[in-house]
Amino acid sequence: MKIAVDVMSGESPPKTLIQGALKAVEESDVEVVLVGDETTIYKELEQHSQSYKQISVVHASEIIAMDESPAKACRKKKDASVMVAGALVAKKKTDGFFSPGNTGATLASSLFSIKRIEGVKRPALASILPTVKGYAILLDAGANVDSDPEHLAQFAIMGEIFVKKILEIPEPRVGLLNIGEEDIKGNELSQKAFEIIKTIDFNFIGNIEGHDIFEGDVDVIVCDGFTGNIVLKLSEGLGSVVMRLIKNEMIKNYKYRLGAYMAKSALRSVKERFNPATYGGAPLLGINGCALVGHGNTGELATKNAILTTAKMARAKLDKLIKKSIHLHTLSTG
Amino acid sequence: MKIAVDVMSGESPPKTLIQGALKAVEESDVEVVLVGDETTIYKELEQHSQSYKQISVVHASEIIAMDESPAKACRKKKDASVMVAGALVAKKKTDGFFSPGNTGATLASSLFSIKRIEGVKRPALASILPTVKGYAILLDAGANVDSDPEHLAQFAIMGEIFVKKILEIPEPRVGLLNIGEEDIKGNELSQKAFEIIKTIDFNFIGNIEGHDIFEGDVDVIVCDGFTGNIVLKLSEGLGSVVMRLIKNEMIKNYKYRLGAYMAKSALRSVKERFNPATYGGAPLLGINGCALVGHGNTGELATKNAILTTAKMARAKLDKLIKKSIHLHTLSTG
């Protein structure tokens, strides 16, 4: 199992990503290909006395920055680390890749070189969210801006397979994010998507609403990429806002130092649960290979977990499973 | 200033709503018309030794339940409390009305009897959200399932007037909820809405993202009703989830009773900020009168505040101001 890691595109320095990769190879038999400026990479590797048989390096001379326009940058910078990492998967040199940088560029690189699975209309970005009871995935979290009902049905199929194989939930409950629980609720898109999704052979629990997302009673949350991206960013933002408000309340009362200390530890553990590092990033589903999109400030732990998650996706042959299910669904709906 | 209150439709008993109304008349010169089963209402009023000159009663023989289909129920139950309260506004017997029940029924009653302002394509439900710095409004929070760009532009105009007059923010900052900050980001709807909204004569700060909602740097958040409703319910849900997670962490450690006590008080104050009672409900903007939609479990305080907010809207002649601005905007865009 070989995973390419773009060590240049994140907000964290290459050093952090390389150290995360070294942790991953220490803890598993996964081989890692570090992609980026080779001088920088070798300089970092020299800091480590141990030799790493599972590590190799592929040079890439350019970097796509966080704020560059993805489509334009990918066309112009063919030798950008994220493009080179994607190409390694396309050429079957690695089984998957991880990039911690510009989400749009990782998507563009994947679509450009790895390409969509035949029959998949739109690949989707799946975001792994913490719930009161465990984890759920939400997709599309922003790979597509406009979607049609059949796209949403495909998101449901791809998400269900991911949750079953990677989060290891045997019978995932699939829900459609909507503005009411009744079947007929919602906008045109969600009403039509409901009609298609209910014919698919999995555990569809129907419409769910905004307040159901974090309760842990649904494992796969399906929505269009516009709604999904707003939900994702809102969740990240609101968690931090609630915590800031609580902190503000706590420090109002100087008498209770112990209470403040205690609350601080509790806040820290909760923040940890909202930390995207557990799985290391958001999988891109629907391409001929495995790709994981990291958060900008991916640290060592997140990098290690991202590599292991990508390897797990590759080991499960997630892309082949998705291809098969999408094909079956297309056959049954014509 | 006279406000009709539907005391029958909420999850709270009529007693609670009537007591809230009595508080409102005690604290202000607003007159309140209690709408609902007169036997129930008079029985409750008899419990109070004081006589209330500002209170009157209008009988309504039916109730629309929380789970009834609004359109159907409103057609069938012409004498439902929410329909009678709406009709009082339409007949100019009161200056506004408040209902704590079925949101769809309150919308239907408003559209049926009070009617849209001429030129307003779609009335919008505005939700008042707490932020780190104060309050902001989000609209449409779910009055409409599908919207076009011109609808969003009108939501922006109506929301800006509400915030200026009712939340008393002199120069409200208006933002369009989107999935990126750059002008060209988003789905077709938000891109086209951006083009229209930027021509309107107010303080448009451009696109905002999910994580900006609670930061307090935008006062009017514009989006379609599908997205808005999901944001609203998610926010209500996530706040409670974060708090449950923190509580779970706190009780893990039995040694720190004081800390747990302290955290509990902080949690309670934060929960208070997320309590919709401060303004008592969500205004429906774009109708020929003033209507406030309450939350299902509206208590005494929320009822009092809802009445005072509705009266403030009526006193500011919010509907007339909206009519004028929509007319001006229509003239300029043709």
| Sequence ranges of the domains in chain A | 1-120+286-316, 127-276
Who contacts B9 (Cβ-Cβ below 8 Å, separation ≥6)? Answer: B63, B64, B65, B66, B80, B81, B82, B99, B100, B101, B102, B105
Q: Quote the tokens at residue A258.
A: 């112990």
CB atoms within 10 A of CB A159: 27
What is the average pLDDT across A179-190? 84
Give the pLDDT score at A255: 57
What is the end-to-end Cα distance of chain B in Å, rounded?
36
Do B148 and B189 touch, CB atoms closer than 8 A? yes
Q: A308 in helix, strand or coil? A: helix
- pLDDT tens across B276-323, in order? 556 778 999 999 999 999 976 788 999 999 999 999 999 999 999 999
Nearest CA-CA distance, residue A54 and chain B, Å: 39
Compute the average pLDDT of residues B92-118: 94
**Do residues A20 and A303 make contact, with C-beta atoms less than 8 angstroms apart?**
yes
Asked if B229 lies within 8 A of A210 by C-beta distance, the reply is yes
E strands in A145-278: 174-177, 204-208, 220-222
CB-nearest partner of A210 from B213, B214, B231:
B231
> By the 8 A CB rule, do B52 and B62 touch?
no
For an interface test with B, the pick among A236, A244, A245 (most B C-beta atoms closer than 10 Å) comes out as: A245
A226/B187 Cβ within 8 A: yes
Instruction: Please judge whether A145 and B214 are an interchain contact, meaning their C-beta atoms are less than 8 angstroms apart.
Output: no
Mean pLDDT of B193-216: 95
Q: Residue A142's closest chain B neighbor by CA?
A: B179
Average pLDDT, chain B: 90
What pLDDT sits at residue A296? 62
pLDDT at A227 over 60: yes
| Binary contact (B269, A262; C-beta < 8 A) | no
> Which pLDDT belongs to residue B278?
67
Counted across chains A and B, CB pairs separated by less than 8 A come out at 179
Lowest mean pLDDT segment, chosen from A66-75, A190-199, A299-308, A310-319: A66-75
Domains B1-120+286-316 and B126-276 share a fold: yes
C-alpha distances (whole Å) from A327 to each of A286, A322, A333 are 12, 8, 10
Chain B nearest C-alpha distance from A235 (Å): 7
Nearest CA in chain B to A250: B266
CATH architecture of structural domain A1-120+286-316: 3-Layer(aba) Sandwich (3.40)
Which pLDDT belongs to residue B133?
A: 87
- How much is the pLDDT for A330? 86
Q: How far apart are CA A92 and CA A1, in angstroms?
A: 11
Sheet with B290-293: strands ordered across: B55-59, B31-36, B2-6, B96-99, B290-293, B282-285, B124-130, B135-139, B220-222, B173-177, B203-208
- Mean of the pLDDT values across residues A291-302? 86
CA distance B66 to chain A (A): 13
d(CA A253, CA A113): 58
Query: Across the interface, do A245 and B190 touch by the CB < 8 Å criterion?
Result: no
CATH architecture of A127-276: 3-Layer(aba) Sandwich (3.40)
For residue B248, name the pLDDT band (cuts at 50, 70, 90).
confident
Whether the predicted pLDDT of A131 surpasses 80: yes
Residue B81 has pLDDT above 90, yes or no: yes
Q: In whole angstroms, what is the distance from residue A196 CA to residue A156 CA? A: 10
pLDDT of residue A253: 65
**Strands of B31-148, DSSP E:** 31-36, 55-59, 96-99, 124-130, 135-139
Q: How many CB atoms lie within 10 A of CB A331?
A: 9
- Confidence category of residue B253, pLDDT binned at 50, 70, 90: low
Q: Do B179 and A230 touch (CB under 8 A)?
A: yes
In this prediction, residues A98-127 reach a mean pLDDT of: 94
Nearest to A263 among B209, B262, B273 (CB): B262
Assigned CATH class of B126-276: alpha beta
Distance to chain A for B96, nearest Cα, Å: 27
- Amino acid found at B50: Q
The beta-strand segments (E) located in B140-289 are 173-177, 203-208, 220-222, 282-285
- List Cα–Cα distances, A124 to A77, A119, A143, A144, in angstroms: 24, 14, 5, 7
And the tokens for B26? 């005690």
Q: Which of A226, A229, A249 sits opposite B266 (nearest CB)?
A: A249
Q: Which helix (H) or strand (E) holds A269?
A: helix A257-273
Interface test with B, best of A238, A243, A265, A297 (most B CBs within 10 A): A238
Residues A32-56, mean pLDDT to the nearest whole number: 94
- Confidence label for B102 from pLDDT (cuts 50, 70 and 90): confident
Q: What is the pLDDT of residues B142-200, one digit of tens each?
A: 999 889 999 999 999 999 999 999 999 999 999 999 998 877 788 999 999 999 999 99
pLDDT score of A107: 94
Do B270 and A249 make contact, defined as CB atoms within 8 angstroms?
yes
